[in-house]
Structure 1
Amino acid sequence: MRVDPIFIDNRGHRTMLKWHRARRKASDPEFTPTRILEAMRLGASVEVDLVLHAEHGFAILHDRTLDHGTTGTGLVADTTADALRQLFLRANDGTPISDRVMLLEDLCDLLKANPAHADALLQLDCKEDGSRLSPAVIESFVVAVSPVASSMILSGGDSAAVAALAERTPGLKTGYDPTYPGILDALTSASDFATFIEAALRLAPDATMIYLDHELVLTADAVGVDLIGAVHSDGRRVDAWTIRSVSPTTLNHVQRLLDLRVDQITTDDPEGLAAALAGGQG
């Protein structure tokens, strides 16, 4: 019997499996409405990315350029809403698929028309910093998200940008990702890791979820610092990202994350990971 990849129970603790870029399995294209709605119907955790376009709104895309993930070319920031909606998404091998690029308001309209399971959570991962959030951008976000905010969490690496968008959107939960490029080279000692997580928690006092590179969590663990435990002690939850494929190495990593009682694991292959763990390969 097929089991939907929503969570893993390990030693009395439940860890959600987050569908990274709305993928249920590794072969899925990114950001298709079918998978997003499936996740929300099942009560899963699912993530999409937000990138600004030319008309003060957000596109559901990861990259700031169109060339890789869509049939378009150039910068998302230079492309109008209508032009974006005419573009098709690409499969993992680069082949165009039948699904078109969505804007944030398109996604929110879908969710309004298809009510979510009470446990479902859609993460909006904002790829922009606060300098890009004009009053028009903020207003566009608020209008789109407010009707469905209770099923969403807004995250990003700029805690001020997340706060600016969320403070006018009642019911919207927030998260914070303090992982910056080069962090694994910058943090080496137990003291470094302890200082890092303390600073992250101070910088985003309203964030209910802290998003951490899973390699960062495991590196800290190896020097005796439990980053997940520190976040739990502050009353927050931890998402460890991103398990991109299922292999003996990644299964060992996941098992250690489960033993550390991580609350959520971001993965490009929730179905494959859940099957491997259920089969006792972890």
Structure 2
Amino acid sequence: MAFALKGVAYITGAGSGIGQYAAYSLARQGVRSFALLDRNPVTKTVTELKKAYPDISIKEIELDVANEAAINDSVDQTVKEFGRIDYALNNAGIGGALKTTDQIDMDDFQRVLAVNTTGVWLCQRAQIRQMLKQEKRTDSYRSYRGSIVNTASMYGLIGPTLNVPSTAYATSKHAVVGLTKADAIAFAPRGIKINALCPGYVATPLVISSMSAGSVMEDERVKVPIQRLAEMEEIGDCVAWLHSDASSYVVGASTVADGGFTIQ
């Protein structure tokens, strides 16, 4: 599926997993200017992108999404380098402990919310402020000043299973869905498209290694109607679609990519 995307992408959590594969998907659709942000090195993502697309331009930025000043500075750096931000993916997040409310302490609970919820809000606020300063890329009715996708989770829509008692994580991702809806309503009339992506279980290296060790993830996999986990490329392609003109009438949506898990 080709979307012919043009413009500048800003991706948090770009060093691995969904952020990494979202960058690959956006590049396949035509994006050639990237700000790639992560607390850890984005070396692998950069290497693969430059190998496949020699004409690509990449700004690497170390970022802790719990740091307000660093987020604002990262947006400023991106705009100084590329002139604007067209496609933002607020993807950085942590899982937190698999504990129920009676087991988790306040510091652990607040740490998950600081990264998964407040971090997304801080990034989105900085991106919105920039996007309000820039014009649409084209005169098409499908065009926007900018598009934002927030990585939520299927556990932003349903409660976690008894096998995966991720209370703090589910709370943080429900908040991301609410934030997405609130800001989508506020800023769609001003030319900014905001959506959430709600993946199910994804075959990241960490999940695959835990399954081979005989973890609860194998028990969860068999609950998925299509009987497998998502490949990271599949979730990356969802990000590209949400940023594209093909989804121009999709606003404030919680787009589910979970193999049917949440319809049971």
Same-fold status (TM-score > 0.5) = no
TM-score, reference length from structure 2: 0.35
Bigger fraction of residues in strand: 1
Alignment TM-score, normalising by the size of structure 1: 0.33
Q: Give the structure with the higher percent helix.
A: 2
